[in-house]
Amino acid sequence: MTTMTINTVVVDLGLRSYEVRISPGLIGRAGAEIAPLLKRKKVAVVTDETVALVHLERLVAALEVEGIAVSSLVLPAGESTKGWSQFAHCVEWLLEQKIERRDVVVAFGGGVIGDLVGFASAVLRRGVRFVQIPTTLLAQVDSSVGGKTGINTAQGKNLVGAFHQPSLVLVDIDALATLSERDFLAGYGEVIKYGLLGDRGFFDWLEVNAPLMVSGDAFARQFAVRRSVEMKAGIVSGDETEEGKRALLNLGHTFCHALEKATGYSDRLLHGEGVAIGCVLAFELSHRMGLCSQEASSRVRAHLKAMRMKTDLRDIPGDLPDVSAMVDLMGQDKKVIDGHLRFVLARGIGEAFVADDVPLDLVTGLLSDALQ
């Protein structure tokens, strides 16, 4: 049995500050963790079918043992849940459960559930508190922290939403044990992003220890999740609504969003896989612009390859659009101004910055080589 040490990271946002607690076994003690937040002993849990199958019974038992009454809604798993129809279903269900402003909603699952339930909580009775219990690596290190909530529409991903911070995030490291290797590695794409954007020592550590994380080492997993959350909390505390520094969290995402659109948000490319490829491309672009060394760029690719992750466009199964269509997809995401694009670039590992003046022809050249 793993020894339980709870790491606590504070997201410092004044009156809306909250803790992210990270440890194995937290689902099993969720009632004790959540009870102090409650004004009456009642919560509504929203989850998806996949998570419900493996973890819901344990969560409900952990809440009930503290005398908390639980009602739960199980939504279909998958990205298509994060749209208007399940959003309306979720909000109406919460109203039927008579969830009031003094109550707490629990978002129990990966990024889809966290974003959808967070947004439902933001608008329900003009805002109720919610607790995130993220069960995927991607949600644990990224989407459950920082208060971005929302849904997708026919026009694109995350175009409707709100900043609504959770009141507490419970990160149970044991939940990672039930992920497929592909889902774990996709989440790892977001972990590596933190080292690349701002902590070279963390990247060095990951180069040595990431294989341990994949093979299930709970200490390595907890360390990497804690360091990622610390970095995210620090950035969000300084720039909650992305006026400046928070944009660094988009390292690799301009390429990733174009690739996700090009692959129809399908199983061909998971979000975290797109982030990993996007980070490789961002470092290559930085090198071509004379900003970072070839060595740094090669190191990023070599590490992701060693982890048997996708690093190149040719690793994505099926055909991709040609260069100009790809650039168009990027242009929709980040404005093209006078032939220049906005990107997160790097001067080296751990030294990312936002550049508003990336020449379009350099991006075109990079993509055309990558599509060879």
Catalytically active residues are 126, 148, 190, 232, 242, 246, 250, 253, 257, 271
| Least distance CB 142 / ligand GLY (angstroms) | 5
Q: DSSP characters for 183-243?
A: HHHHHHHHHHHHHHHH-HHHHHHHHHHHHHHHHT-HHHHHHHHHHHHHHHHHHHHH-TT-S
To the nearest whole angstrom, how small is the minimum distance from the Cβ of residue 146 to ligand GLY?
4
Give first-to-last CA distance, the chain, whole Å: 50
The yes or no reply on residue 82 touching ligand GLY (CB under 6 A) is no
Hey, which residues between 243 and 282 contact ligand GLY (CB under 6 A)? 246, 249
Q: How many CB atoms lie within 10 A of CB 241?
A: 10
Asked whether 262 and 288 are in contact (CB, 8 A), the reply is no
Place of tokens 């990622």: 228
User: In whole angstroms, how close is the CB of 145 to ligand GLY at the nearest point?
Assistant: 7
Shortest distance, CB of residue 353 to ligand GLY, whole angstroms? 16
The yes or no reply on residue 284 touching ligand GLY (CB under 6 A) is no
Of 21, 148, 261, 342, the one binding ligand GLY by CB under 6 A: 148
Smaller CB distance to ligand GLY: residue 192 or 249?
Answer: 249
Q: Does 189 bind ligand GLY (CB under 6 A)?
A: no
Q: Residues in contact with ligand GLY, total (CB under 6 A)?
A: 5
Residue 305: burial class (beta carbons within 10 Å; 0-12, 13-18, 19+): middle
In the numeric block, the tokens 């992210």 are attached to 20
The 117-146 contact track toward ligand GLY, x by CB under 6 A, reads -------------------------x---x
Nearest-angstrom CA–CA distance, 333 and 316: 21
Residues that bind ligand GLY (CB under 6 A): 142, 146, 148, 246, 249
